[in-house]
Amino acid sequence: MTRWYQEKKREHYYKLAKREGYRARSSYKLKQIQQRFHVFEEGNVVVDLGAAPGGWSQIAKEYVGVDGVVIGIDLQSIAPLDGICFIQGDITKHSSLEAIKEVLQKRDVDVVLSDMAPNISGQYSMDHAKSIFLAEQSITIVESLLRKNGNYVCKVFMGDLLDGFVDSLYTYFSIVKRFTPSASRKSSSEIYIICKYYKN
């Protein structure tokens, strides 16, 4: 019964994304994060790390509006979307940070998003460690770009390194919360960390 329900839910969000014009079912995860934690405001500047295929960037643009700016970056190329700037690049490389800065033209960033995930190897401890590594890399972007009192959202896989990573975030942010959106599969080990009020 549980597996049947999860398959039904997965199909529900997939079909809903297709019907509403979103590129990924994960769009609803970010919607649920916004509804709970209010990470975006109209006019915000947002950097979306690991943006392919563009579903999170679509949601971010809806919330920041025509006066807001959304910049997405990913190793993969991303088909264009109106009002969103996409960069193909590796966020672990300094050249990618410079490419983001060039688009920003000295504007402050209000929100950094990271829905990045490693290529799954099937070895859980290794996949977990890689997800924490990617999250730590996204913090490098936060330190370089995020304005004081800005917000940050990242995805990681649960495991023995999670508590240490979450504890480290209190160095940077006044509020740090763990959250699993209802749009996530129950079988998934992913969890989202929502951080508010960057201390800078």
Active-site residue set: 155
CA proximity to 85, closest of 110, 106, 60, 118: 60
By the 8 A CB rule, do 168 and 129 touch? no
Check if the beta carbon of residue 165 is closer than 8 Å to that of residue 135. yes
CA distance 180 to 31: 12
User: Strands, DSSP E only, in the chain?
Assistant: 45-49, 69-74, 84-88, 109-114, 146-157, 173-179, 190-198
Tokens of 109: 């960033």
